[in-house]
Amino acid sequence: MLNGTVPHEAFAKFGGARVLIMPASEGTGVVAGGAMRAVLESVGITDVLAKSKGSSNPHNLVKATIEALANMRDAKTVAQNRGVNLTKVFKG
């Protein structure tokens, strides 16, 4: 989590459910459907844009949302994995 939002876009699927989670500017709030909203609010995210596609089965949506959040990485981790400076991650 970065300033109440997610650090980057994330896409995940579980069964027939597909979810897309995107960062939002401060003050946007949680723009997501019921099952996704519950998961995002419970982990402390306050500003996010989310869209569900495919199946609307709440069990699969929750599992896909958790998987999308679990697959996110912060800039420090990316820099460490690449073996470069943190500034190089952002400036190429």
pLDDT digits (tens, 9 = 90+) for 26-77: 999 999 998 999 999 999 999 999 999 999 999 999 999 999 999 998 888 8
CATH topology of domain 10-84: Ribosomal Protein S5; domain 2 (3.30.230)
Predicted model pTM: 0.85
As a whole number of angstroms, the distance between CA 58 and CA 79 comes to: 35
pLDDT confidence of residue 76:
86
pLDDT confidence of residue 68:
96
pLDDT band (50, 70, 90) for residue 10: very high
CB 35 within 8 A of CB 75: no
For strand 17-23 and strand 10-14, is the pairing parallel, antiparallel, or unpaired?
antiparallel
Q: Look up residue 74 and give its two tokens.
A: 């912060």
Per-residue b or e along 15-26, where b marks 16 or more CB atoms closer than 10 Å to that residue's CB: eebbbbbebbee
